């Protein structure tokens, strides 16, 4: 809160209050201060009177600073958009966009792909205009990422005040995790934006009770559900904000009606999602990824990954690399500072805020008093706007994480650190910004507050930028383009290819770039719809299904060879572990059918399938 501003609340005076959700501003000719913020609630009018100097400072400083923040966000996200090669998930996205009509009618395997076709449709429209190369595929996420920075900053400004909103926008602009997903051809950037808008409309609806705001919330929630299935875990968490509404009973009724309408419209797809999730495979490789520590530590680890420069899981590429320690003393010291600095700053801020609350209230020039009738008595509740917004939003984010983690631990292991928990990311950003504001307010005079707020924001931002620079210094490249060219040069598009495991998805983008459109069948056959997923341990638990897949592939191979056409095997792996156990079932069946596997190139894993008699073997 700015010096000279004051808050007053009057019970029962809401009918004629200016209806501006979450602290919007409008000139008030009756106010000598020149600016009036208002929030209309049943039985309560909350008004903020600010001096005219605040209005001028908002115009002179805040808007240019926000514009500069968005320019910084765009520069970081677009600066090296094509520095990394597309990895397998992005290649699967490319395939979904480029081969839209080749999908099965029901879409990709719901057990393996929790992103709906709506995202791929939007990306298809985008790539028609900007191309379907790496830049075209990723630029959609980059644009959405910049918009999200603006959105989360504006939502924080509505909840906690304009300067906190600016700080949150800056922290979001340089946040390594958000930058990473703003440069990936996947739906996570879009999902973050939708959750940010959900927070705004939920706050607007619960604060005012207006039907139009509940409709807006329901529409955005429906869109988010049609973008990513894990939104289903976010919706029940929103009751935390409803319980803090001024008119709790009315808000709860509206909340139930809105969610009933949402779920009724998507009941079939949600039932399919939950059914496949509960009955799916073991996802052993995900278990190895995130169950290397006690599951109860997932929640703090996830929050740590969302800090300015936390510890990231291995599948986040260069971010995971920079989160590891180096051996040199200087690098060890710098990494310790980057990784533990934000956590130490936030912990210290909490200690300062909690220990100096009484003193800070006495020093404050803007006493904030809300009078509420309790029987025949009047009680005073002293809370800042930042703290009110922080409590509600943070509760939603934490409950979402708790629901997702319980589901992952008890029912179905899934990504829970740094990916599906991105739905809590806007809540963490707003909570961090409001904590910085609370820390500044509890440190004395005006100048000290400004220095503390700017210093804390700059320190968190520098840790983020340091992590981003470190990640860009570790480019993640692979040999997929070279392998793709070798296959194109030594085979033909009319040949039949048998892709073992995920080989097809590794090659999809590079083959398209080379104008190579081969006939490919996968083994196991269901990998044609799994979009880059594989779980050999789960496949071994269904031997009948696996045997049927072996039989289908051998049948297709023999039919092709009978016609005199060439058949190639694409397999690349190590001769041990569950994956090898599955693959060698196919190899044994081919040998039993008197089909020879003649390796052509070990590096690419390319082998030719032909009749033993043709190979000249006994």
Determine the Cα–Cα distance for residues 303 and 425; give it in Å rounded to an integer.
9
Instruction: Tell me the β-bridge partners of 38.
Output: 47
Copy the structure tokens of residue 178.
């958000």
Which spans in 174-247 are helix H?
176-182, 188-208, 211-227, 234-237, 239-243
Tell me the two tokens of residue 357: 């609350």
Q: What is the model's pLDDT at position 613?
A: 72
Contact 273, 114 (CB under 8 A): yes
Q: How far is CA 538 from CA 229, 240, 566, in A?
A: 22, 37, 32
Of 127, 133, 136, residue with least CA distance to 100: 127
pLDDT grade for 382, boundaries at 50, 70 and 90: very low
Note the pLDDT tens digit of each residue in 406-419.
Answer: 877 777 666 667 78
| Per-residue pLDDT at 283 exceeds 70 | no
Q: Which helix (H) or strand (E) holds 301?
A: helix 298-306
Per-residue pLDDT reduced to its tens digit, 308-324: 887 787 778 888 888 77
**Using only C-alpha atoms, what is the Rg of the chain?**
28
Using DSSP bridges, classify how beta strands 377-381 and 6-11 pair: parallel, antiparallel or unpaired: unpaired
**Distance (Å, rounded) from C-alpha 78 to C-alpha 182?**
9
Whether residue 210 is predicted with pLDDT greater than 60 in this model: the reply is yes
CA 25 → CA 18, 158, 222, distances in Å? 9, 10, 30
CB within 8 Å of 125: residues ≥ 6 apart: none
Mean pLDDT of 538-563: 92
Query: So where are the chain's domains?
Result: 52-472, 480-615
Return d(Cα 491, Cα 493) in angstroms, integer.
7
Q: Tokens for 274, please give them.
A: 């939950």
Euclidean distance between CA atoms 391 and 601, whole angstroms: 60
- Residue 585 contacts by C-beta under 8 Å, 6 or more apart in sequence? 546, 547, 550
What pLDDT does residue 392 have?
81
What token pair was written down for 485? 């060219």
- CB-based contacts of 72, cutoff 8 Å, min separation 6: 170, 173, 174
Give the span between the Cα atoms of 434 and 389, in whole angstroms: 8
The Cα–Cα gap between 525 and 582 comes to: 12
Least confident of 16-20, 58-62, 437-441, 571-575: 16-20
Neighbours of 557 (CB within 10 A): 22
- CA separation for the pair 61, 575 (Å, rounded): 63
Q: Give residue-wise pLDDT tens across range 470-500.
A: 888 887 778 889 999 999 999 998 999 999 9
Average pLDDT, the chain: 79
Share of the chain above pLDDT 70, in %: 75
* Token code pair at residue 482: 């070279």
Closest to 300 measured CA to CA, from 333, 334, 336, 347: 347
Report which of residues 415 and 149 the model is more confident about: 149
Tell me the pTM.
0.83
pLDDT, tens digit, 9 for 90 and up, residues 560-612: 999 999 999 999 877 788 889 999 999 999 999 999 999 999 899 999 999 98
Strands 519-523 and 496-500: parallel
**pLDDT for the residue numbered 362:** 52
What is the spatial distance between Cα 498 and Cα 606, in angstroms, rounded to a whole number?
10
Two structure tokens written together for 89: 């998930």
- Say yes or no to pLDDT of 123 above 90: yes
What single string gives the DSSP state of each residue in 537-568? HHHHT-HHHHHHHHHHHHHHHHHHHHTT--EE
The secondary structure of 446-491, three-state, reads HHHHHHHHHHHHHHHHHHHHHHHHHHHCCCCCCCHHHHHHHHHHHC
SS3 content of the chain, % helix, strand, coil (to 5): 65, 10, 25
Q: For 70-74, 193-197, 255-259, 462-466, which range has the lowest pLDDT when averaged over its residues?
A: 462-466
Q: How many residues does the chain have?
A: 618
Using CA atoms, how far residue 165 sits from 157, 250, 400, 416, 616, in Å, is: 4, 29, 23, 28, 75
Is the CB of residue 439 less than 8 Å from the CB of residue 355?
Answer: no
pLDDT-based confidence at residue 110 (cuts at 50, 70, 90): low
């Amino acid at each position: 809160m700015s010096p000279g501003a004051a808050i007053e609340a009057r019970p029962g005076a809401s009918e004629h209050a200016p209806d501006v959700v979450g602290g919007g501003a409008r000139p008030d000719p009756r106010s000598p201060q020149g600016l009036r913020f208002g929030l209309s609630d049943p039985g309560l009018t909350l008004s903020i009177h600010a001096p005219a100097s605040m209005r001028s400072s908002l115009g002179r400083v805040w808007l240019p600073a926000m514009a500069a923040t968005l320019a910084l966000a765009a520069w970081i996200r677009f600066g090296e958009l094509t520095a990394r090669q597309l990895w397998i998930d992005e290649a699967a996205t490319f395939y979904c966009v480029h081969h839209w009509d080749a999908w099965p009618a029901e879409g990709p395997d719901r057990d393996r792909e929790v992103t709906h076709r709506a995202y791929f449709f939007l990306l298809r429209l985008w790539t028609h205009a900007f191309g379907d190369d790496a830049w075209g595929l990723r630029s959609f996420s980059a644009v959405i990422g910049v918009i999200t920075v603006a959105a989360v900053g504006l939502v924080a400004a509505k909840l906690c005040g304009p300067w906190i909103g600016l700080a949150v926008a800056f922290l979001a602009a340089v946040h390594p995790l958000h930058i990473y997903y703003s440069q990936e051809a996947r739906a996570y950037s879009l999902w973050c934006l939708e959750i940010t808008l959900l927070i705004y409309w939920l706050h607007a609806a619960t604060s005012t009770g207006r039907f139009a705001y509940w409709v807006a919330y329901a529409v955005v929630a429906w869109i988010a559900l049609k973008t990513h299935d894990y939104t289903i875990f976010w919706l029940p968490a929103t009751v935390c904000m409803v319980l803090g509404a001024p008119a709790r009973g009315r808000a709860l009724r509206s909340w139930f009606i809105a969610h009933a309408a949402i779920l009724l419209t998507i009941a079939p797809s949600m039932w399919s999602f939950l059914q496949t999730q509960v009955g799916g495979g073991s996802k052993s490789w995900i278990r190895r990824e995130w169950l290397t520590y006690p599951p109860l530590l997932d929640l703090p680890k996830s929050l740590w990954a969302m800090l300015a420069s936390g510890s990231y899981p291995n599948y986040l590429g260069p971010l995971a690399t920079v989160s590891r320690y180096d051996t040199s003393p200087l690098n060890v010291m710098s990494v310790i500072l980057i990784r533990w600095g934000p956590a130490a700053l936030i912990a210290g801020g909490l200690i300062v805020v909690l220990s100096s609350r009484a003193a800070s209230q006495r020093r404050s020039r803007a006493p904030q008093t809300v009078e509420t009738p309790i029987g025949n008595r009047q009680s005073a509740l002293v809370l800042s706007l930042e703290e009110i917004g922080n409590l509600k939003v943070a509760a939603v984010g934490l409950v979402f994480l708790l629901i997702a983690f319980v589901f992952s631990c008890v029912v179905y292991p899934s990504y829970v650190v740094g990916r599906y928990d991105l739905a809590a990311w806007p809540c963490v950003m707003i909570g961090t910004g409001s904590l910085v504001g609370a820390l500044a307010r509890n440190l004395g005079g005006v100048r000290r507050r400004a220095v503390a707020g700017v210093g804390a924001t700059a320190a968190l931002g520098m840790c983020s930028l340091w992590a981003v620079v470190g990640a860009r210094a570790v480019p993640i490249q692979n040999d997929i383009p070279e392998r793709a060219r070798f296959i194109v040069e030594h085979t033909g598009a009319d040949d039949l290819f048998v892709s073992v495991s995920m080989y097809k998805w590794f090659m999809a983008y590079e083959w398209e770039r080379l104008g190579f459109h081969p006939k490919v069948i996968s083994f196991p056959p269901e990998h044609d719809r799994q979009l880059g997923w594989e779980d050999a341990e789960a496949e071994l638990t269904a031997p009948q299904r696996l045997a049927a897949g072996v039989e289908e592939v051998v049948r297709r191979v023999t039919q092709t060879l009978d016609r005199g056409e060439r058949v190639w095997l694409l397999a690349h792996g190590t001769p041990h572990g569950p994956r090898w156990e599955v693959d060698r079932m196919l190899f044994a069946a081919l040998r039993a059918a008197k089909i020879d596997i003649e390796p052509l190139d070990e590096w690419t894993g390319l082998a030719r399938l032909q009749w033993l008699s043709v190979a000249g073997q006994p």
